[in-house]
């Protein structure tokens, strides 16, 4: 079997698992998008995925987006930033990202807005929310969400808030994982009811290879899938450059 067949069959398998989770939850599979997460995978794999019709790809590091965007400039790819974004990388993000899902602080919003204004463009953003107590997880404290969303909408017009993103606790306890997703959905609903001007609080980016079915059952509109699509990641020195 060629590598391309493997990727195609993994994609088909994922799509049927997504559809099955939707059916269990009484949802329409068209409501749940798949965001392939290509971090650490080479441009050959991304080309194969693009040939299968995928065009949005999630990446964690701006340096990797820069390198890949350069190497794949002939393809119509939308780069989606899903990892912690340093403020000093705002310029690259404003130039190269189609979307940032990891907005988690005002100084980053300010830096992005300034660079976007220079580029003369707007950027869709999701606010990353910390729904688990694990110290390694980035994200805004949920209690700060209402004020944060209002401040972004008021002061940073180049950013268009479209929803929320989270990483659930890394746990074998499905109830604990589910609780993270449920908390994000509850916050999304609450903020949607507030109807902040300029904010379209519709999207919920939650669920990864190990927990996307739970996330779909809890209302995810977008699952971010890396290893279940591309295979195991290699974080060795060569892959991390
Ligand atoms: C790496 C990553 C993913 C994908 O993880 P998999 O377990 O490989 O599916 C999703 N979201 C974020 C924020 C990531 O960093």
239 part of a folded domain: no
Q: Is residue 208 within 6 Å of ligand 1 at its C-beta?
A: yes
Per-residue model confidence as pLDDT tens digits over 87-141: 999 999 999 999 999 999 999 999 999 999 999 999 999 999 999 988 777 899 9
238 part of a folded domain: no
CA distance 81 to 37: 10
Residue ranges for the chain with pLDDT beneath 50: 3-4, 239-241
Do 100 and 125 form a contact (C-beta atoms < 8 A)?
yes
181 part of a folded domain: yes
- Complete edge-to-edge strand list for the sheet that includes strand 78-81: 33-36, 222-225, 203-205, 159-165, 123-128, 97-103, 78-81, 56-59
235 part of a folded domain: no
Q: What is the pTM of this model?
A: 0.94
Per-residue model confidence as pLDDT tens digits over 175-186: 999 999 999 999
146 part of a folded domain: yes
Distance 142 CA to ligand 1 centre (A): 21
Distance 111 CA to ligand 1 centre (A): 25
Q: Is residue 10 within 6 Å of ligand 1 at its C-beta?
A: no
The dihedral region occupied by 137, where left means phi > 0, alpha psi between -120 and 50, and beta the remainder, is: beta
Q: Whose CA is nearest to atom 11 of ligand 1?
A: 224
144 part of a folded domain: yes
Q: Whose CA is nearest to atom 7 of ligand 1?
A: 209
Q: Is residue 225 within 6 Å of ligand 1 at its C-beta?
A: yes
Residue 106: domain span: 7-230
Number of domains present in the structure of the chain: 1
Atom of ligand 1 nearest to the CA of 228: 9
Q: To the nearest whole number, what is the mean pLDDT of the chain?
A: 94
Atom of ligand 1 nearest to the CA of 227: 8
> Cα separations (Å) of 53 from 2, 9, 48, 79?
18, 13, 9, 15
190 part of a folded domain: yes
CATH number at residue 102: 3.20.20.10
């Amino acid at each position: 079997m060629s590598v391309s067949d493997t990727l195609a069959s993994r994609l088909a398998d994922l799509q049927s698992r997504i559809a099955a989770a939707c059916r269990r939850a009484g949802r329409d599979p068209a409501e749940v998008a798949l965001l392939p997460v290509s971090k650490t995978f080479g441009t050959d794999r991304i080309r194969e995925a693009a040939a299968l019709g995928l065009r949005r790809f999630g990446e964690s590091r701006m340096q990797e987006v820069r390198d890949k965007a350069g190497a794949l400039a002939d393809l119509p790819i939308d780069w989606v930033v899903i990892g912690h974004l340093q403020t000093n990388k705002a310029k690259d993000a404003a130039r190269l990202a189609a979307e940032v899902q990891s907005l988690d602080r005002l100084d980053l919003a300010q830096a992005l807005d300034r660079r976007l204004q220079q580029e003369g463009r707007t950027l869709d953003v999701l606010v990353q929310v910390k729904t688990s107590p694990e110290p390694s997880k980035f994200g805004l404290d949920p209690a700060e969400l209402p004020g944060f969303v209002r401040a972004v909408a008021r002061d940073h017009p180049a950013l268009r808030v479209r929803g929320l993103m989270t990483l659930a606790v890394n746990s074998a306890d499905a109830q604990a994982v589910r609780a993270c997703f449920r908390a994000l959905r509850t916050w999304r609903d609450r903020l949607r009811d507030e109807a902040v001007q300029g904010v379209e609080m519709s999207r919920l980016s939650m669920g990864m290879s190990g927990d996307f079915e739970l996330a779909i059952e809890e209302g995810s509109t977008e699952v971010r899938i890396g290893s279940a699509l591309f295979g195991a990641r290699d974080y060795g020195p060569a892959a991390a450059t």
